[in-house]
Structure 1
Amino acid sequence: MSWINVCNEESLPQGTGIAAWVAGKAVAIFNLGKHGLYAIDNIDPATGVSLLARGLICEIEGQLCVASPLYKQHYSLTTGVCLEDPQLVASPFAIKTEQGQVFVLAKA
């Protein structure tokens, strides 16, 4: 596994997500300002469509989540687990910033 430089931190819009290609995988990256950065698989496990980066950010029972744009399942931004169906998981990725750059840990 290795850290992949995705973008400049200043280029991430706050309060929403972007999709990035990281070592052959589509990753949804969310910049939640004071709540930090999050990264999960961009593929919606319920549909197989690459679109979670376009979902709405929300908080449910203290968990930060993204709601899938298609059928509105809610995926935890920390664990990737779907709140409505725990068998559905959008795998989380480690994410960090260094010297103004955003890095995502590519999975083998």
Structure 2
Amino acid sequence: MIWINVCTEASMPKGTGIAAWVAGRAVAIFNLGKDGLFALDNVDPASGVSLLARGLICEIDGELCVASPLYKQHYRLDSGRCIENNDLVVKPFEIKTEQGNIFVLAQA
């Protein structure tokens, strides 16, 4: 496993998501400013479509979530668990910043 440099902090928009290609898979990266950075697999498990980076960020019962643009399920940004259906889970990725760059941990 290695850390992949996906972008600079300055180029990452706040309050929204972007998709980045990390070790052969699309990863949705969310910059929530003071609330931190989060990374999830970009594929919505309900539809199989790679689009979670385009989802709306929200908070449900104190949990930061992304709402899937297609079927509107809410996935927790910290764990990838779906609020509405426990059987749906999006794989989370470790993410960090170093010297002004954002890195995602590539997983096998």
Q: What interval of TM-score do these two structures reach, taking the shorter chain for normalisation? A: over 0.9
What are the Cα deviations for residues 28-52 of structure 1, in whole angstroms up to 9, with x where unaligned?
Answer: 0000000000000000000000000
The within-5 A match list for 1:29-48 is 29-48=29-48
What are the Cα deviations for residues 65-100 of structure 1, in whole angstroms up to 9, with x where unaligned?
Answer: 000000100000000000101111110000000000
Where do 4+ consecutive residues of structure 1 move more than 3 Å? Answer: none
- Identity of paired residues, percent? 75
Q: Which runs of 5+ in 1 are unaligned?
A: none
- C-alpha distance in 2, partners of 1:88/1:95? 22
TM-score, with length taken from structure 1: 0.99
SS of residue matched to 2:10: helix
Match of 1:26 in 2: 26
- C-alpha distance in 1, partners of 2:93/2:28? 9
- C-alpha distance in 1, partners of 2:87/2:81? 7
Match of 1:3 in 2: 3
Q: Which runs of 5+ in 2 are unaligned?
A: none
Q: Is 2:53 aligned against 1:53?
A: yes
- C-alpha distance in 2, partners of 1:50/1:80? 15
- C-alpha distance in 2, partners of 1:29/1:86? 22
Match of 2:89 in 1: 89
Match of 1:73 in 2: 73
C-alpha RMSD of matched pairs (Å): 0.4
- C-alpha distance in 2, partners of 1:53/1:35? 17
TM-score, with length taken from structure 2: 0.99
